[in-house]
A and B are shown apart, each in its own frame.
Chain A
């Protein structure tokens, strides 16, 4: 939907952006993040042409924005900045209705739209419409800012650190509301922030910038799990993953080559195999399809007197498993609820792809503390 093509920007001798190329897809909320001076705000302001690129092109829906009427362009892009963005001499109503009024829309439509918008951002019309911005709290002002950005029902909304001056509680409730608003209205939102927690919390994709270049542009999950370089992992913070455990998936922590055996093996052979691999359970699989038949445990084996019978006859096929996309939270829940120490990971065909054991869980969970000390 919004496509940056080799965008560069120079102010006199300093290069602010060099060769930025990326695309923001329709209906996504993309957070641009980086340290101050990295070019994130410059990138944002190029979308509504507050800043002109030195070279390169930006396309919105395939149209080169530099060819469009700048006023029309801006009126079709919502713009939210910190609370100073509200005009102090106008009431809340006047602030929201400013653009619709200069577009000469009918008074009825405007009023209706204003009431809808106030509803949308959760502010009471009777209480707030005729007040001035200074009479509102920071959070309320920012809600009005969001309402104003939606006034012309634009497809794209730009937000430049809109919540950064708010207290943490207000901020997180506004973030939640933004996410739910976004999922309802499916707007394309570009959101500049310097707060990684905020970016992870709200965005579909994160664009990490440094010194005028895009370092990594990916989903929050991938950025957390696979930082492309030290800068990103440093920036993201090594322990960051623990504040978002939902991004830790079963496949990330499983042992990929668990010790397996086929159904026709004798119990004796199985015990031997466990002993030699120093494990206390075996995954019994179908040799061809790799489908999991069941799990056998060393304790269980020892109780059987006839050690020559095939394992299939004693197999417990009523086992608990998880799928690779289940989060670490799901895994822990299963472990606790079922009081088991190993849990196999099966793909959607039922084939065994890995195993999570107590010790692999302990190893994973202990990382956050051990890394901290290191």
Chain B
């Protein structure tokens, strides 16, 4: 399937994500202007604040955006607010700096003349300083807007939508068409924003301060008219986007549940199944907030009530969330999680739903044949010749690489951290020899990889289980038996099959979920 076909097939989704993206960017830049310009003015008046404020904004600029986003989740939850907050913070620096520079560079004699003829401080600000600094302020806004368009892709990480959704899902599933479907509109949007902001920048520069020959003045006035029209049209468009989206958002059922998921195919399939089942068998309407970053994002969202339920894995809850050292006892892990979650967070852990998505190590068939590998014990004998490429998470977890190498007593020649599905690409291209994988990963099938048997039973159990907010269970007790029905139809092989459909055959996870439920006669 080529990129054009992909665009045509998914045009409704791409357009709605693009609109979402425009909306989020517009809100962020708008807020950044509302905060940044007054701050810039403030520091040009109160010089003492200049260094601390510029210093803080400089530091913010240096924090990786993902880290900043992570810091916000405990306070702001997930969704639009933390995404916008992050982008606003990143957009502040150019706006504050340019406002400050613009205002302080005005000829002091001009300001004195304004004072001398009897303008009040406020009138000097609004009639002299801001108009004269506006071209420079707008240049800052322009930089911020373009950066914001790019940065806003991270919004998808915490369920705020936008074009980043396509980029992230595409990276997870090694679907280049999907990546491009997100990236190309984002680039075009950035170009359009840059162009429009450039037009505004020119328009706010008084004709007298533009370097134009007097003969060209008439042409300039003409272009200005055209540019003004263009801006009016674009602002009307943005306003329409807001109106449209607020109308569509209004019709939400008072009886509703929000289902979340982490950002990979299996999670998206499962959350769609859950949502379909609830919608089919009850009169509750379901909001789907799929593709929310990792465990921390989902769990924070669950605690704060941004989502009502999602599918967690027993080992993740036990090791990561509760912080216990990894063990391999399935029953003990599940019971501890169930009790602790209820006590500590008022979160109900429902029954495990039939498959164990634990870690596994995988190699190419050729590698397996070459070294005669069946189990991790076999691997440990030749590991010093091999390079591993694992997720950063696996590289650092006690129940990941550090524990594993200890248990089997070996070390790799080199171990590098590679996020998401790019490690499969590295493996196929022989950049690494061993990768970590999830037992049900469809990509294992796609790349025809050999999983090595965990013969010492090192990896803890990672059984999938729905976890639901206590309040939600009280309000809608009918969903519990519905969710537990899933365990009758799911197991490791079935799950890998479903994942494969999404990852390799590139069928929409929602369709895969629905088809499967229909096949099984659940809906």
**Chain A contact residues, CB within 8 Å of chain B:** 45, 48, 50, 71-75, 77-79, 81-82, 84-90, 98-99, 102, 132-135, 148-149, 152, 158
A148 near B206 with CB under 8 A, answer: no
Cα distance A30–B490 in the bound complex, in angstroms: 100
If A74-B115, A75-B118, A132-B207 touch, whether A87 touches B110 (CB-CB below 8 Å) is yes
B113 near A85 with CB under 8 A, answer: yes
A132 near B206 with CB under 8 A, answer: yes
Q: How far is the CB of B120 from chain A (nearest CB, A)?
A: 6
B118 near A74 with CB under 8 A, answer: yes
If A82-B109, A84-B109, A98-B127 touch, whether A89 touches B206 (CB-CB below 8 Å) is yes
Cα distance A48–B257 in the bound complex, in angstroms: 69
A74 near B116 with CB under 8 A, answer: yes
B206 near A85 with CB under 8 A, answer: no
If A81-B112, A82-B109, A84-B109 touch, whether A98 touches B209 (CB-CB below 8 Å) is no
B116 near A81 with CB under 8 A, answer: yes
Cα distance A74–B120 in the bound complex, in angstroms: 10
For A79, what are the chain B residues with a Cβ–Cβ distance below 8 Å? 113, 116-117
Interface check B131, CB cutoff 8 A: yes
A88 near B206 with CB under 8 A, answer: yes
For B118, what are the chain A residues with a Cβ–Cβ distance below 8 Å? 71-75, 77, 99, 152
Please report which residues of chain B, range 200-223, place their CB below 8 angstroms from some CB of chain A when the two chains form the complex: 206-209, 214
Interface check B132, CB cutoff 8 A: yes
A87 near B112 with CB under 8 A, answer: no
A84 near B116 with CB under 8 A, answer: no
Cα distance A86–B207 in the bound complex, in angstroms: 15
Cα distance A78–B119 in the bound complex, in angstroms: 12
Cα distance A50–B114 in the bound complex, in angstroms: 11
Interface check B123, CB cutoff 8 A: yes
Known: A71-B119, A72-B118, A89-B209. 5 other contacts (CB 8 A): A74-B115, A81-B112, A84-B113, A88-B206, A132-B206
Please report which residues of chain B, range 419-441, place their CB below 8 angstroms from some CB of chain A when the two chains form the complex: none
**Chain B contact residues, CB within 8 Å of chain A:** 107, 109-110, 112-120, 123, 127-128, 131-132, 206-209, 214
Cα distance A149–B113 in the bound complex, in angstroms: 11
B117 near A50 with CB under 8 A, answer: no
For B208, what are the chain A residues with a Cβ–Cβ distance below 8 Å? 88-89, 132-135
Q: How far is the CB of A90 from chain B (nearest CB, A)?
A: 8
Cα distance A84–B111 in the bound complex, in angstroms: 10
Cα distance A48–B206 in the bound complex, in angstroms: 30
B132 near A48 with CB under 8 A, answer: no
Partner of A84, one of B107, B119, B120, B131: B107
Partner of A102, one of B119, B209, B214: B119
For A73, what are the chain B residues with a Cβ–Cβ distance below 8 Å? 118
For B110, what are the chain A residues with a Cβ–Cβ distance below 8 Å? 84-85, 87-88
Q: How far is the CB of A43 from chain B (nearest CB, A)?
A: 14
B123 near A102 with CB under 8 A, answer: yes
In the complex, what residue of chain B is closest to A81 when comparing beta carbons?
B113
In the complex, what residue of chain A is closest to B135 when comparing beta carbons?
A89
For B132, what are the chain A residues with a Cβ–Cβ distance below 8 Å? 87-89
Partner of B131, one of A45, A48, A89, A133: A89
B115 near A50 with CB under 8 A, answer: yes
Partner of A135, one of B119, B127, B214: B214
For A45, what are the chain B residues with a Cβ–Cβ distance below 8 Å? 116
Cα distance A135–B113 in the bound complex, in angstroms: 20
Q: How far is the CB of B108 from chain A (nearest CB, A)?
A: 9
In the complex, what residue of chain B is closest to A86 when comparing beta carbons?
B113
A50 near B116 with CB under 8 A, answer: yes
What would 13 A/B residue contacts be, using CB atoms closer than 8 Å?
A: A71-B120, A81-B109, A84-B110, A87-B110, A87-B128, A89-B132, A89-B206, A89-B208, A98-B119, A132-B206, A132-B207, A132-B208, A135-B208
Cα distance A90–B119 in the bound complex, in angstroms: 15
Cα distance A87–B130 in the bound complex, in angstroms: 12
Cα distance A73–B112 in the bound complex, in angstroms: 15
Q: Which 9 A-B pairs have the closest CB atoms?
A: A132-B208, A74-B118, A75-B118, A85-B113, A79-B116, A89-B206, A84-B109, A134-B208, A89-B131
In the complex, what residue of chain B is closest to A152 when comparing beta carbons?
B118
B127 near A50 with CB under 8 A, answer: no
In the complex, what residue of chain B is closest to A132 when comparing beta carbons?
B208
In the complex, what residue of chain A is closest to B209 when comparing beta carbons?
A88
In the complex, what residue of chain B is closest to A102 when comparing beta carbons?
B123
